Chain A
Amino acid sequence: MMSKQESAVKERRIDQEFAEKYKADFPILKQQINGHDLVYFDNAATTQKPEAVLDAVDHYNRTINANPHRGAHTLSVRATEAYENARAKVRDFINAEKSEEIIFTRNTTESINLLANSLEALVEAGDEILISILEHHSNILPWQQLAERKNLTLKYLYPDENYRIPLSELEKKLTAKTKIFSISQMSNVSGVINPVKEMAELAHQKGALVVVDGAQGAPHLKTDVRDIDADFYAFSGHKMLGPMGIGVLYGKRDLLEELPPFLKGGGMIEYVEEQGSTYAPLPEKFEAGTPNVEGAVGLQAAIEYLEEIGLDKIKEHELEITEYALEKMKQLDYLEIAGPLDLEDRGGIISFNIKDIHSHDLATIVDSEGIAIRSGHHCAQPLMKFYGLNSTGRISFYLYNNKAEVDRFLESLEKVREVFGYGS
Chain B
Amino acid sequence: MDLDSVYTELIMEHNKNSRNKHALEKADLSEHGHNPSCGDDITLELKFDGDIISDAAFTGSGCAISQASTSIMIDLIKGKSIEEALELVETFIAMIKKDIEDQQELRKLKDAMALKNISNMPARVKCAVLSWHTLKEALNERN
Interface of A toward B, CB cutoff 8 Å: 34, 357-361, 364-365, 367-368, 375-377, 381, 384, 390-391, 419-421
SS of A interface (majority):
mixed
* Known contacts A364-B6, A368-B3; is-contact A376 B39 (Cβ 8 Å): yes
Q: 9 A-B pairs, CB-CB below 8 angstroms?
A: A357-B64, A358-B62, A359-B38, A365-B3, A376-B37, A381-B36, A391-B38, A391-B39, A420-B12
Q: How many residues of B contact A (CB 8 A)?
A: 21
Contact with A along B48-65 (1 / 0, CB 8 A): 000000000000011111
Contacting pair A361 B65 (CB below 8 A): yes
How distant is A164 from chain B, measured CB to nearest CB, in Å? 25
| Residue pair B64, A420 in contact (C-beta under 8 Å) | yes
The residues of B that contact A358 with a CB separation of less than 8 Å are: 38-39, 61-64
Contact yes or no, B3 A361, CB < 8 A: no
- Minimal Cβ-Cβ distance residue in A for B62: A358
- Nearest residue (CB) in A for B61 is A390
Whether B124 is near chain A, meaning CB under 8 Å from some CB there, is yes
Q: Are B12 and A361 within 8 A (Cβ)? A: no
A421 touches B12 (CB 8 A): yes
B41 contacts across to A, CB distance below 8 A: 390
Q: A360-B123, A365-B7 are known; give 10 further A-B pairs, CB within 8 A.
A: A34-B1, A358-B38, A358-B39, A358-B62, A364-B121, A364-B123, A375-B38, A377-B38, A419-B12, A420-B12
| Chain A residues with CB below 8 A from B61, complex form | 358, 390
List residues of chain B with CB within 8 A of the CB of A367.
1
Q: B residues within 8 A CB of A34?
A: 1
Cβ-closest chain B residue relative to A357: B64
Q: Provide the residues of chain B in CB contact with A384, threshold 8 Å.
A: 39
List of A residues within 8 angstroms of B36 by Cβ: 377, 381
Q: What is the 8 Å Cβ interface bit string for chain B, positions 1-23, against chain A (1 contact, 0 not)?
A: 10100110000100010000000
Chain B residues with CB below 8 A from A360, complex form: 38, 40, 63, 65, 123-124, 127
With CB as the reference atom, state the residue of chain A lying closest to B63. A358
A301 to chain B, nearest CB (A): 31
Closest approach, in angstroms, between the C-beta of B114 and any C-beta of chain A?
Answer: 15
Which residues does chain B contribute within 8 Å of A368, judged by CB atoms? 1, 3
- In contact, B37 and A377 (Cβ under 8 angstroms): yes
Q: C-beta contact mask, B62-87 vs A, less than 8 Å → 1, else 0?
A: 11110000000000000000000000
Q: Are A419 and B62 in contact (CB under 8 A)?
A: no
B65 CB contacts on chain A under 8 angstroms: 360-361
User: Given the complex of chains A and B, what is the CA–CA distance between A421 and B16 in angstroms?
Assistant: 10
For the complex, what is the distance from the CA of A41 to the CA of B63, rounded to whole Å? 21
The residue in chain B whose Cβ has the minimal distance to the Cβ of A358 is B63
- Give complex CA distance A368, B3 in Å: 7
Given A368-B1, A421-B12, A421-B16, verify A361-B37 contact (CB < 8 Å): no
Q: A390 vs B37: C-alpha distance in the bound complex, in angstroms?
A: 10
Binary CB contact string for chain B from 25 to 45 against chain A (1 if under 8 A, 0 otherwise): 000000000001111110000
Q: Nearest chain A CB to B59's CB is how many angstroms away?
A: 14
Tell me the bound Cα distance from A361 to B67 in angstroms.
Answer: 11
Are B7 and A419 in contact (CB-based, < 8 A)? Answer: yes
Residue among B3, B12, B41, B121 with max Cβ neighbours from chain A (10 Å): B3
| Bound: A34/B121 CA distance, A | 13
A365 to B36, CA, bound (A): 21
User: Within the complex, what minimum Cβ distance (angstroms) separates A420 from chain B?
Assistant: 7
Residues of chain A lying within 8 A (CB to CB) of residue B37: 376-377
Residues of B within 8 A of A421 (CB): 12, 16
Q: Which residues of the other chain, B, contact A376 by a CB distance below 8 angstroms?
A: 37-39
User: What's the least CB distance linking A234 to chain B, in Å?
Assistant: 24
* A390 in complex: contacting residue of B3, B16, B39, B64, CB < 8 Å: B39
| Interchain CA distance A367-B124 in the complex, whole Å | 13
- Please, which residues of chain A bring their CB within 8 A of the CB of B3? 364-365, 368, 419
A377 touches B12 (CB 8 A): no
A364 with B39, Cβ < 8 A, contacts A419-B3, A419-B7 known: no
A364 to B124, CA, bound (A): 9
